[in-house]
Every structure is written in structure tokens, then in C-alpha cells.
Amino acid sequence: MLYDTKNPHGGDVYAGNVRLDFSANTNPFGTPESVLAAITRALPEVHRYPDPYCRALRAAIAAAEGVPEEYILCGSGAAELIYAFADAVRPQRAAELAPTFAEYSLALARTGCAVARYTLSEKNDFAPDGGILNFLRETRPEVFFLCNPNNPTGRLADGALLKEILALCEKLGTYLFADECFLDLTDGGESLKPFLTRCPRLFILKAFTKSYGMAGVRLGYGLCADASLLHDMSETVPPWNVSTLAQAAGVAALGETDFLEKTRALVRAERAWLAEQLAALGFRVIPSDANYLLFRAAPGLDAALREQGILIRNGENYAGLCPGWYRIAVRTRAENEALIRALREV
């Protein structure tokens, strides 16, 4: 629980009078019915402690991802695994992109780690580029955090560049922490899963939050061939950290392949429509491969929309962005139209 600390993320719909939330990048269809049913069926078991080894869930993840069960570590949301990784590795030098997901540097700050940042070029629409390789050679970090697609830009790294980054990290002895939490909602994004066995310093982060609309359940998992790293990470979190309801929900969600296909189709169409509408309003819109869009408008836009009960993500606390940058989720057509109407008014 946050206590007397500012929430650096979106999704805070609890302060009252919020009718539309575009600040959190969750599935526009919400949670699959099968997942809700699985949670309901598991309710009679909540008097017991949850399975501390997540046996059924790990088996389901292994089948869905095509990896051995021993490569899987489950956590109470992806955020817990980011902090567990930082606590287990305790690097002195780490690197990340700018802008990128804020939780990497927040987790590293707890260990006293110095963080170097490779600033992506706005002129290049914040696309990951070959300059990352020279940056890694110069900084020689112990860990490189790479969000793919990147948050908040929505840009995917080219497959060839991904492989070059992985090969260089192996050569430098650098852990590559690859955050693929949004990858399942992209078209054509390449996962680094095929390289897990030959690259033990590769750690892949996944979550149920975005793909299956399960942000309130708190469930994520990591994939890695380094058993000692996974053991050390597990020692940094309390036992029974993944609840009985979360484990049941995860098993059910992994069977929802049609749900993901339907979501990708909606995101593909609505992202294009939203980008066109935002550009018509005179905003600078960054091309996206994900279920969210980054755009630039006047500072204070989020506050003006908040007065109408609409939340969008203010991007000014991202390293590499200045006031006036905003991120919005891609939602359903009715919700997207309501947002555009509100933007025209303000």
C-alpha cells in the first residue's frame, strides 16, 4: 500500500467522479468471463493457504509459453518481480531507455544502484535504434532494462536489433531484463523466449494485467533459465505471495486465445482511428505498436479532462519527456469517441 507517497502511475479511479479511465493500459474488453467464473469457483478455497509453488499455474504457463516449468517464477503482479529482481541481483550499475516504465529505476533506487539512460529521439518518434549498442558498450551496465513494446511510447524494437542487444549483453556479461508485458497485444512483436536456454542472463517479464484485464488480481511471471537467480528472487518476497484466486484466474486466462485475437483486432482498428482524431486536433502523435498512444498537447490537458471525469496519463514524470506529453489507452469505439468529444471541448 502506498502511504504518504505519490502514485507515479495511472489507474487511480478511486479519488471519485471518474467516468472514463484512459490512464491505465488494460484490455478494453475488461476481464474474460471464464476468468471471473474461475475466481468464483475458487472462493470456497480461500480459507486455505494458496499453493506456495503455484503448481497448476506454472504448468499452464509452461504449456502456453512453450518453456520448461523450472524456468517460471510467479509473482503478485509484474511490479513485484521487478523489485525482486533488483533485490536479488543488487547491481551497482544499470541502464534503461528514456522514456520508459518508471518502476525499473524506482526498484533500483532501493538498492543504491546508479542508472544510466539512453534517450530515445523524438525526431525518430522514440523508436529504439542502433545507438543503444554503442551506449551499452560505453556504459557496460550489470543490467539493461528493455521494455518491448516500450511504455509509454508504444514502439517495438526491430527483431534484428533485439538479437544484437541480446548478443552484446551476453558478451558483456550483462543481464538483459526484457519486459514483454504488452507484447501479446501487438501485431508482429518478437519475443526473446527462443533464446532463454542459451542465454541464462536473459530474464523475460510477463503479466496478466494488460492482456486479460486482470490489474486488480495482481499476477505476473518471469521466464529465465538461471535457476539460482529465480531462487534468489523468490527469497526476496514473502511465501504465499500469489493468492489462490490469482492462481485460478491465471490458469483460466491462459485458455483465452480467442479473447486475445479479438483484442488485437480491436486495438489495431481503434488505435488507427484514435491517432487520426488526435492528429486532426493538432496534437503530435507518436506511431504506436501497442494498445496505447503517446501524444503531445498543451500542459494542463489532463487536469482539464479530469474536471470532466476523464483520466489520462500525464507523461511529465517520465525521464526524457517534458510537460505536455500524455499517454492514453486504446479503448472501445464508444469510449474513444467520448474522449475525442471531451478533447474538442477543452
Give the tens place of pLDDT for each residue, 41-53: 999 999 999 999 9
Asked whether 332 and 266 are in contact (CB, 8 A), the reply is yes
Backbone angle region of 73, left / alpha / beta, with phi > 0 → left and psi within -120 to 50 → alpha? beta
Provide the total of helices (H) and of strands (E) in the chain, helices listed first.
11, 13
Chain centroid to CA 32: how far? 19
Cα dihedral 23/153/220/8 (nearest 10): -50
Q: In the predicted model, what is the mean pLDDT of residues 291-301?
A: 98
Instruction: Report the pLDDT value the prediction gives residue 73, as an integer from 0 to 100.
Output: 98
Instruction: Report the pLDDT value the prediction gives residue 188, as an integer from 0 to 100.
Output: 87
Buried b (16+ CB within 10 A) or exposed e, 250-267: bbbbbebeebbeebbebb
Q: How confident is the model at residue 11 (pLDDT cuts 50, 70, 90)?
A: confident
Sign of CA dihedral 219, 224, 227, 231: negative
Using DSSP bridges, classify how beta strands 143-147 and 175-179 pair: parallel, antiparallel or unpaired. Answer: parallel
SS3 of residue 94 by DSSP: strand
Q: In the predicted model, what is the mean pLDDT of residues 242-250?
A: 98
End-to-end CA distance of the chain: 34
What phi and psi, each to the nearest 5 degrees, are found at residue 24? -115, 130
Percentage with pLDDT > 70 across the chain = 100
Please, what is the average pLDDT of the chain?
A: 96
Q: Is 66 exposed, middle or buried (0-12, 13-18, 19+ CB in 10 A)?
A: exposed
Give the tens place of pLDDT for each residue, 157-193: 999 999 999 999 999 999 999 999 999 999 889 999 9
Give the tens place of pLDDT for each residue, 250-295: 999 999 999 999 999 999 999 999 999 999 999 999 999 999 999 9
Q: In the predicted model, what is the mean pLDDT of residues 218-224?
A: 98
Q: In the predicted model, what is the mean pLDDT of residues 124-138?
A: 98
Q: How confident is the model at residue 10 (pLDDT cuts 50, 70, 90)?
A: confident
The residue behind cell 523508436 is 127
Does the pLDDT at position 79 exceed 90?
yes
Percentage with pLDDT > 90 across the chain = 94
Asked whether 75 and 220 are in contact (CB, 8 A), the reply is yes
Contacts of 292 (CB under 8 A, 6+ apart): 25, 151, 152, 154, 327, 328, 329, 330
Q: How confident is the model at residue 6 (pLDDT cuts 50, 70, 90)?
A: confident
Beta bridge partners of 95: 116, 144
Q: Which residue has the higher pLDDT, 2 or 68?
A: 68
